[in-house]
Structure 1
Amino acid sequence: MRKWGPLVAVCLGTFMLLLDVTIVIVALPDIAGELGASLTGLQWVIDVYALVLAALLLGAGAAADVLGRRRVYAAGTALFTLASVGCGLAPGTGALVAMRGVQGLGAAAMFATTLSLLGAAYRGRDRSFALGMWGAVSGAAAALGPVLGGVLTQGLGWEWIFFMNVPVGAVAIWLTLNAVAPDGARGTRRLDLAGAAAFALFAGATTYAAVRAGEEGWTSGRTLAVFGVAAVALVLFGRAERRAVDPLLDLSLLRRGAFVTVLVAGLAYNAAAFGVMPYVSVWLQTVLGLSPVRAGLALLPLAAVSFVVAAAGGRLLHGAQARFVLGGGLLLIGGGTLGQAVLDADSGWASLSAGLAVSGVGVGLVSPALGGAALASVPARHSGMAGGAVNTFRQLGFALGIAVFGTVATSRMTDVLHDGGAARELAGGGAAALRGTVPDEVLRTAFASGLDGALTAAGVLGLVGGLAALAWVRSPGPEAETEAKAESERDRGDGVPAVGAGAPASPGGA
């Protein structure tokens, strides 16, 4: 246990924080029924977690470099665990959304330090094994969420999707404090508080505007005003980074086409693979009438295939060019998602199975490959910054995907129902309430049309991301490899700095 204790501690925490990105998906109808949540409320129950995680990840990495990786990871795990209790005890939608935000804060502290803890604990083949296991756990966590969420929701109640984090978090904290070596000499990095605040405002305003657009339209005054705030925040972030002594993101990296492409690929990956899943879950349960367990099992092809591919891919694809693995994986995700967009009023859960399995192959390929692609796209001294940025864009893609695809789905439902309010109620799990006034055949047709539209948009995004990766992502050349080796030798005395502060780019993470 002494040798592999750090790996177990990091994998437990990573699995827990990434599982909570998607574990609530199958529980949404039960949450809506018990707490009276609207479609917008349900979107925020999922979105606020991914949003806070994305907005604070770069800043958390920089803080860990100053305060110590083990300390920040343990504190983040403790905060995440306590917030999980708050989620389970939440008396209303507002309280649940607030506690999910606190969960995201703890998750950012954990996720920012996972790779650096492993890099400091292992060398050589042990490090390769540790990173491979971490990548497999990361790749499967988000996909497994709906399955486990269904079992817990039906067996114990939706609250237990959060209460289950308590024993897992306690074990992770104990292992961290007893098996992970204390940090060596800490860095002298200065915290870029202005940059962190500006990026958080940009991410929050962009997601909020996308959610509001689903109710008020993309051209409404409020939607455009919030998008304006996001644009101003982005400008302020750029100014802050140019002036910062230790910026969260070196803006010169954005002149590298390969790096920008990896960021876009990370956003497209999470949006295309997981952004429509909440609405699929609502369709399975409220329209088709499946139980939470059966709804989770209907999504099992994605979880099972992605785990197998991610676990085996490290060995089988060792040495393969990142652009082919990343681009091919995104094309599979796009194709598999488009393959699910064949629903009509008579469709059942089996209509999704083949497409989910194809997408699962893509998820299993992309999840471990993104980190290597990020590392290959920048100089070695910026590897941690690149890793933090690509993980940030992944979570931002998930949050934006839910908001944007929800807008597409409700728009298509409105075309069938001719009532925007009824469409939003249907998308939010209110099929039972509408059946008294709307024929069941019409409800099934409307929801299938909405899902087809959202799945088509997600599939196209995956295909575009895949083609971009094939065209512009590059493997490192001899000079980059020499530089990376020199950087590794310099860091050997103190492991690897935190993500966002000089750590290797993450090979996984949902």
Structure 2
Amino acid sequence: MSDTSSRRRWAGLVFISVAVALIIVDSTIVNVAIPSIVDDLGITSTEVQWVQEAYTLVFASLLLVFGSIADRVGRRRMLLVGVVIFTLASVGAAMAPTGTALILARFVQGIGGAMILPTTLSLLNATFRGRERGIAFAVWGSTIGGMAAVGPLLGGWLTTDFSWHWAFLINVPLGILIIVGVLLTIDESRGAAARVDAVGAVLSVVTMGALVFALIEGRTYGWWLTDKPLTIGDWEWPFALSPIPIAFAVAALGVVAFISWGLHRRRIGRSTIIAFELFRIPSFRNGNIAALIVSLGEFGLILALPLWLQFVLGFDALQTGFILLSLAIGSFVASGFAGAFSGRVAPVWIVRAGIVAEIIGIVGVGLAIAPDASWVPLVPALFVYGFGVGLATAQLTGVVLVDVPAAEGGQASGTQSTSRQLGAALGIAILGTILFSTTSAVLDAKLDDRGLTADQRDQVVSAVVDSAGGAIAGLAESPQTEALADDAKAAFSQGTQYATFAAAGFLVLGLAATLSLGSGRRSENTGEAGASEEIPPTIAESSDELR
């Protein structure tokens, strides 16, 4: 192979890595910028959850679909279309005049992101061979780790020195760079793809959408009876029964329909969104359960902490980015430890050690949370938590895929990635609801002790909770309401603490789920289990660290 061809391939790796960085940077920047968005657009706490959730939900639902479509229409083409959609949606998010418009833009970003990620993996797989492929995937994974660290700082700097709009506009020059670079350095490639399961894709989106809607909106519309009627345009929900139990029922029926449809397609020899037959393998089935639960516990923390750090403790976005950097550093350090013990310690024990470290770290964060807390105890606790994340994610995918036949490695890796993304979506919904519901209940009780009337309490509680804590600063500015601001800070701190301990609880469940896993070492009768030429398991977990 000529030197020119070789240089072109490695240059292509740079632009593929930048495409992955586009997704990671956006996710981490948004976390830090949310409080500024609350102040500027006046979005409610429910909308805060949806700004985070919209992207994750769509991304998780469409990840496998677009990976399959890319094999048919062309991977480079799908990557370019995804970058264009993501970039245009970023402009829409930056220019959004309302919370609703921002949420819509985040939905569209999720579509673009779901096009980008699987095609970057496929393009690397098609471009490199042998030892070079391992190097390429290592660069790809390192890009994710590096951007996870850079994102909060970049987001804090842009938000503090410019505005939150630049948290999205930064994607425009990156998008243009990727498009030009990919066109110049990457050749088109296709694979032998089966017909896309469109019905399964629709069922998965409807099921997850209904479930997440119910979890997020339950405190708004009522968990059983209607507290506030759902309105869409001029139409208003006409029943005493809240739409929330209806949404839960739709989600439950959706799960049944999704599984039934998938099993039917398997019986007639057609492709499915999820590799159902692989769930007969105990390590794959139990590992996916563990991955979902662990992700559920991990991601809720990232929603709550930036709000609390900025609205209660008064840090700006850049300072918040520096505090959260300790988490990324811990994860980076852990990757070295995981590599050092690889081959000497059973992978499942590394996973368990990582989850234990996560639990210790997140409990430490919860114990440090108070209205007058210092950043000093938070940093080491976040470092330990990040260290645990790095250990667990470095080995969990290999443990999940260890008994999967090589020919099924690609779809198995995608299924495991989807499990984690679904866990992230549920984590944001559940822990966000715990945060705001607890804040509401605790603040109402504190204001009742002060002798405020029901109408007065409702006015203050609604202002604080609907603004996701943004109204606290306004209360603190007036001598007449300064005491109420103290109550609000205490309530929001307790809500954040409860959400943090709930995340720890989910991680404990995830740890328990790993007890049913084997050693994580390759079985003799499975060949290169989970290590197919299509998508090596050592890098598949990197696609799940979209923070």
TM-score by length of 2: 0.85
Q: Which structure 2 segments of 5+ residues have no match?
A: 1-6, 226-241, 445-457
Of the three residues 387, 404, 415, the one matched with 1:378 is 404
CA separation of 1:450/1:467 partners in 2, compared to 1, >3 Å: closer, same or farther? same
Partner of 1:196: 201
Could you tell me which amino acid in structure 2 is paired with residue 233 of structure 1?
G
Cα deviation for residue 273 of structure 1 reads 2.6
Could you tell me which amino acid in structure 1 is paired with residue 246 of structure 2?
A
Of the three residues 246, 255, 265, the one matched with 1:234 is 255
Superposed, which structure 2 residues align to 1:237-252 within 5 Å? 237-244=258-265, 245-252=270-277
Partner of 1:347: 373
Cα deviation for residue 345 of structure 1 reads 2.9
CA contact (8 A) 2:46 2:216 kept: yes
Superposed, which structure 2 residues align to 1:267-416 within 5 Å? 267-310=292-335, 312-313=336-337, 315-319=339-343, 320-342=345-367, 343-416=369-442
CA separation of 1:108/1:377 partners in 2, compared to 1, >3 Å: closer, same or farther? farther
CA contact (8 A) 1:383 1:505 kept: no
Tell me, in whole angstroms, the C-alpha distance in 1 between the residues paired with 2:388 and 2:420: 15
CA separation of 1:13/1:371 partners in 2, compared to 1, >3 Å: closer, same or farther? farther
Tell me, in whole angstroms, the C-alpha distance in 1 between the residues paired with 2:126 and 2:511: 33
Cα deviation for residue 142 of structure 1 reads 4.1
CA contact (8 A) 1:426 1:447 kept: no
Could you tell me which amino acid in structure 2 is paired with residue 11 of structure 1?
S
- RMSD over aligned Cα atoms: 2.4
Q: Would you say 1:7 and 2:33 are equivalent positions?
A: no
Q: Would you say 1:28 and 2:31 are equivalent positions?
A: no
CA separation of 1:359/1:484 partners in 2, compared to 1, >3 Å: closer, same or farther? closer
CA contact (8 A) 1:330 1:366 kept: yes
Q: Would you say 1:424 and 2:470 are equivalent positions?
A: no
CA contact (8 A) 1:69 1:183 kept: yes
Partner of 1:492: none
CA contact (8 A) 2:472 2:489 kept: no
Cα deviation for residue 460 of structure 1 reads 1.8
CA contact (8 A) 2:87 2:175 kept: yes
Superposed, which structure 2 residues align to 1:73-152 within 5 Å? 73-142=79-148, 144-152=150-158
Could you tell me which amino acid in structure 2 is paired with residue 94 of structure 1?
T
Partner of 2:541: 507
CA contact (8 A) 1:192 1:246 kept: yes
CA contact (8 A) 1:302 1:359 kept: yes
Q: Would you say 1:458 and 2:503 are equivalent positions?
A: yes
CA contact (8 A) 1:214 1:403 kept: no
Superposed, which structure 2 residues align to 1:258-273 within 5 Å? 258-273=283-298
| Residues matched between the structures, number | 496
CA contact (8 A) 1:387 1:504 kept: no
Tell me, in whole angstroms, the C-alpha distance in 2 between the residues paired with 1:144 and 1:203: 31
Could you tell me which amino acid in structure 2 is paired with residue 134 of structure 1?
W
CA separation of 1:135/1:219 partners in 2, compared to 1, >3 Å: closer, same or farther? farther
Q: Which structure 1 segments of 5+ residues have no match?
A: 489-495
SS across alignment from 2:163: coil
CA separation of 1:423/1:484 partners in 2, compared to 1, >3 Å: closer, same or farther? closer
The percentage of aligned residue pairs carrying the same residue is 35
Tell me, in whole angstroms, the C-alpha distance in 2 between the residues paired with 1:99 and 1:387: 28
Tell me, in whole angstroms, the C-alpha distance in 1 between the residues paired with 2:434 and 2:80: 40
TM-score by length of 1: 0.91
Q: Output one character per residue of 1:472-492: Cα deviation in whole Å (capped at 9) or x when no partner.
A: 15332122225668x64xxxx
Cα deviation for residue 222 of structure 1 reads 2.1
Q: Would you say 1:16 and 2:22 are equivalent positions?
A: yes
Could you tell me which amino acid in structure 1 is paired with residue 377 of structure 2?
S
- Whose RCO is larger (CA < 8 A, sep 6+)? 1
SS across alignment from 1:344: coil
Could you tell me which amino acid in structure 2 is paired with residue 370 of structure 1?
L
More displaced 10-residue stretch of structure 1: 292-301 or 255-264: 255-264
Cα deviation for residue 67 of structure 1 reads 1.3
Query: Greater Rg, structure 1 or structure 2?
Result: 2
Cα deviation for residue 266 of structure 1 reads 2.6
Partner of 1:209: 214
Cα deviation for residue 458 of structure 1 reads 0.5
Tell me, in whole angstroms, the C-alpha distance in 1 between the residues paired with 2:515 and 2:274: 25
